[in-house]
Structure 1
Amino acid sequence: MSPRNSVCTGQRTPTLPQELCEAVIDFAWEDSSTLKTCSLVSRAWLPTSRMHKFSFARFGEHGDIISFQAIISSPLLDSYRIPCLVRDLCLGKEEEEEIVDSQPSVLHDAELLSLLEKFTTVQTLRLNYVCWSLYTVLPAVSDAVTVIASQVACLHLHWSDSDDSEDLVHILSSSPRRSSVYFTSYTLQDSNLPWPRLTREPINPTISIGRMVAHWDSYIRFYSAMLKTYALRWPFAATIERLTLTEDALGHPLFDRPPYSIELEQELSWRESEMSVLRFGARSSGRDDKGFTATTLNIRSIEINAPTILRSKTIFSKSLTKLLEWRALLTPRMRFILDGSEPESAVPEQCAGLDHTLAGLAAEDHDMGISFDVQCTPERLANWIAAISACFPTLVACGTRVEMVCSTTRDCPKGDRRPVAEHRWS
């Protein structure tokens, strides 16, 4: 056989070094079909191909469990080690389906339990479209999921549902430190008084989360659970280094005609009532609002991705204003990301409610820093100063620390940005 035909085929003298072959496989890490082909080239190509192929695993139904069990029990080279390759584990459906309490989910499948014990190197855990309740989750599976949650750096709760705040506290408390938590969203159904007593102590009484990303509705669910924790004096507290609120689908315009506007008003009214019930519960147990941020929920900075707030009223902008009015977003540092906006398109009348609400919070805490950040050239700074001054006159006049920052992501680590020009009102 000629050297040309023996390239990376496992012959005695391959033309290319194995490191280069692995680099080629690494390049196709997202292409499942290519990885499958690479795994069949030779024994030397199998480990790297398999590492990428099985880095992510999803179990949405019983058939997924049976298929995976067949793979790891096959006679192929070291197939029993495949569970140790899984870094990203998803439990639940890939697409949205109606979550029904009485309908068992994959978390009610006894076959799943034997698999979960094999996943020892998972870094990201996703609960996707699942209902977390007594009727849909086996207690042993719940315990096994909690063990995995205690080991992962990143936790995703995507349209998951729960009967009780205690479930959320339990899974969050499984690890004292976590780099990120994503809520999109986590639904709780237990805001009515009286509340039952705590049946499970939090695994870790204090936790630290590097970054939490949430939609406004998801955050309200989390905030409600923490208020309940505070009211019932549960031994649990969370520190969040950075909370990121996103517009997502909520950035579309808020129309002033029924029934759309009426539905939003009803939703916000219900949420406000929920907040009142929770705070009443806290006061009934001898706790006021001031102690909440000191003892239970400490958010050190908030980043709000809100490119539409300057030019139109949206579901997000109105909901954001309500969150601030409810004092559910107390923090020393708040940053609004305006990427995608133009200063010329700003409509000051649309920002009046948000302006007065932010000014009220800033007046209460003179050390609070509020910044507006947009990716643009330094030459645009003057235009942005004029736009922010027009949209938030009460805020910039109240004497707090308000900044306008023009930034760039060039030569920055992924997800970071650096200022190229800035202005501070004083």
Structure 2
Amino acid sequence: MSPRNSVCTGQRTPTLPQELCEAVIDFAWEYSSTLKTCSLVSRAWLPTSRMHKFSFVRFGEHREIISFQAIVSSPMLNSNRIPHLVRDLCLGKEEEEEIVGSRPTVLDDAELLSLLEKFTSVQTLRLENVCWSLYTILPAASDAVTVIASQVACLHLHWANTDDSVDLIHILSSSPRRSSVYFTGYTPQDSKLPWDRLELRKPINPTISIGRMVAHWDSYIRFYSAMLKTYAFRWPFAATIERLTLTEDPLGYPLHDVERDFRDLEDELLYTESQISVLRSGSRSREDDKGFTATTLNIRSIEISAPTILQSRTVFSESLTQLLYCRTLLAPCIRFVLDGSKPANAVPRQCAGLDHVLAGLAAEDPEMEISFDVQCTPERLADWIAAISACFPTLIVCGTRVEMVCSTTRNCPKGDRRPVAEHRWS
């Protein structure tokens, strides 16, 4: 008679190789409930399950901090090592709400301070819906967050409200090199801080390099103003951005064609322009230039994700023209990404202002390269050549190196694209 099971025969129960088990867990990395179940299967499954489950952690409220503290202090196997597994740390609430300077935020929580120093492996730091204020935030918490910021490769700021724009320079300068910085929203308040307090926000590293900066147009204005204010304060600081990407909407969603009071927009842009002019004048009014290294901003290339600029007046298209006119966007290479638009919908009259501004920039720098890139098949290249020629006639005849590119993302690494058809006017 054959044995009924392996126990009777003394044979060991067949097991899967641990490498295969970990591959299964890796496949479920984004499913929290599945990872929780996997962590309970066996001690061998726990490390990989835990690594994925705690790769991203958000602290938006006090109860979330207390819950995390309970987990890392529990008697479970190596629970005290969990903070070292966190690669993506988010401080702030997920939902958007009005930020009030006097309202406590997670950065005011004393319990958070005891946790921050334990996160030693963070690669991405996010500040979302928090008030970064020297009046309300605990100084020790500000220092601890700055230490983490100095170690991360990616920094995300989403509606981070501060006392002064120099706070932005302070946290950006915490690391001499970053792969990416994202501004999905950034709104500084009018500062009343005395000079001795502002001195605490001087650039930490006098020279920084950013691989890619992604910003909404308004957030970029805040950054540009902060650079000018740093110059006015005579703080030597040099920032190099390999690629600046401007997006249409601060939340990352497409900006639909909606009616808006453009007079208010023009007033806002004129105010910003006057503010920049005042800072420029202030920075040049000093006579103590001896030994002073000027604040510099070097942008190698600009990518503008703007499918609406050819067909309608939007907040973005109007502000983009104004930013270029004020020379706050300068780079040897400017690329317009038109994904989502069609050549048949292009309106030459809509592009008149942008055409004039780009032609002026090209006249100042004959070596400037301007390209228009859209995902489409090579057969559509002729249609796009006709549309761009009609929308930007002044730019094309001025002799600048203008290019139309049809591209694809097929068989390309994530985030990349390759041309399938090209045309140069000069």
TM-score, with length taken from structure 2: 0.92
Residue type of the alignment partner of 2:240: T
- 1:155 is aligned to 155
2 CA distance for matches of 1:20 and 1:77?
Answer: 22
Structure 2 residue 88 is matched with structure 1 residue 84 = no
Whether the 8 Å CA contact 1:132–1:163 is kept in 2: the answer is: yes
* Aligned CA-pair RMSD: 2.4
1:181-196 equivalence runs, <5 A: 181-190=181-190
Aligned to 1:246: 247
Partners of 1:266 and 1:194 in 2: how far apart? Answer: 29
Once the two structures are TM-superposed, the CA of residue 154 in structure 1 deviates from its matched residue by: 0.1
The residue type equivalent to 1:202 in the other structure is P
Distance in 2 between the 1:309 and 1:2 partners?
Answer: 72
The residue type equivalent to 2:220 in the other structure is Y
- Kindly state the Cα deviation for residue 201 of structure 1 after the two structures are TM-superposed: 3.6
Residue equivalent to 2:55: 55
- Name the counterpart of 2:219: 218
The 1:251–1:287 alpha-carbon spacing in structure 2 relative to 1, beyond 3 Å, is: farther
CA distance in 2 between partners of 1:330 and 1:123 (Å): 30
Partner of 1:385: 385
Task: Give 2:219's aligned amino acid.
Answer: S
Q: In the alignment, which residue of structure 1 is the partner of 2:283?
A: 282
Q: Give the conservation status (yes or no) of the 8 Å contact 2:166–2:202.
A: no
Q: Secondary structure at the match of 1:185?
A: strand
3-state DSSP of counterpart to 2:100: coil
Deviates more, 1:51-60 or 1:131-140: 131-140
1:195 Cα offset (Å): 7.5
Partner of 2:259: 255
**Residues 232 and 285 in structure 1, CA contact (< 8 A), matched pair in contact too:** no
Shift of 1:29: 0.7
Deviation at 1:3, TM superposition (A): 7.4
- Using the TM superposition, give the Cα deviation of residue 110 of structure 1 relative to its aligned residue in structure 2, in angstroms: 1.2
In structure 2, relative to structure 1, the CA distance for the partners of 1:194 and 1:79 (3 Å cut) is closer
**What is the deviation of 1:235?**
1.7
Instruction: Write out per-residue CA displacement over residues 16-71 of structure 1, whole angstroms, 9 at most, x where no aligned residue.
Output: 11111111111111111111111111111111111110001111111111100000
- Show the counterpart of 1:8: none
Structure 1 residues 278 and 193: alpha-carbon distance in aligned structure 2, compared to 1, 3 A threshold: farther
After superposition, the C-alpha distances for 1:211-254 in whole angstroms (9 at most, x for unaligned) are 00000011100110001112222121100000000113573225
CA contact (8 A) 2:338 2:372 kept: yes
Q: Secondary structure at the match of 2:199?
A: coil
Q: CA deviation at 1:287?
A: 11
Residue pair 2:113, 2:144 contacting (<8 A) in 1 also? yes
CA separation in 2, counterparts of 1:369 and 1:120?
42
Q: Match of 2:360, as an amino acid?
A: G
1:193, 1:387 → 2: CA distance? 52
Secondary structure at the aligned position of 2:90 is classed as: strand
8 Å CA contact 2:167–2:201 kept in 1: the answer is: no
| CA separation of 1:37 and 1:193: change in aligned 2, threshold 3 A | closer
Going from structure 1 to structure 2, the CA distance change for 1:207 and 1:20 (only over 3 Å counts) comes to same
Q: Does 1:363 align with 2:363?
A: yes
Deviations 1:288-313 (A, max 9, x none): 9xx99x85110000000001111111
Q: Within 2, Cα distance between the matches of 1:323 and 1:199?
A: 31
Name whichever of 267-276 and 382-391 sits farther off.
Answer: 267-276
Preserved CA contact (<8 Å) 2:163 2:191: no
Contact map agreement 1:193 1:277 (CA 8 A) in 2 = no
2: CA distance between counterparts of 1:2 and 1:327? 80
Distance across 2 between alignment mates of 1:286 and 1:384 = 53
Q: Secondary structure at the match of 1:184?
A: strand
Aligned positions of 1:48-197 closer than 5 A: 48-190=48-190
| 3-state SS, counterpart of residue 226 of structure 2 | helix
What SS does the aligned partner of 2:324 have?
helix
Supply the AA of the counterpart residue of 1:231: A
Matches of 1:44 and 1:135 in 2, distance apart?
48
Q: Specify the SS of the correspondent of 1:355.
A: helix
Opposite residue 57 of structure 2, the aligned amino acid is A
Taking the aligned partners of 1:414 and 1:287, their CA distance within structure 2 comes to: 49
Q: Which amino acid aligns with 1:182?
A: Y
CA contact (8 A) 1:72 1:82 kept: yes
Identity across matched positions, percent: 79
Q: Whole-Å Cα distance in 1 between the matches of residues 404 and 199 of structure 2?
A: 46
TM-score normalised by the chain length of structure 1: 0.92
* CA deviation profile, 1:260-299 (whole Å, cap 9, x unmatched): 33432332233223222222222323699xx99x851100
User: Aligned partners of 2:157 and 2:287: how far apart in 1?
Assistant: 32
Q: Equivalents in 1 of 2:364, 2:109: separation in Å?
A: 52
Q: What is the aligned partner in structure 2 of residue 37 from structure 1?
A: 37
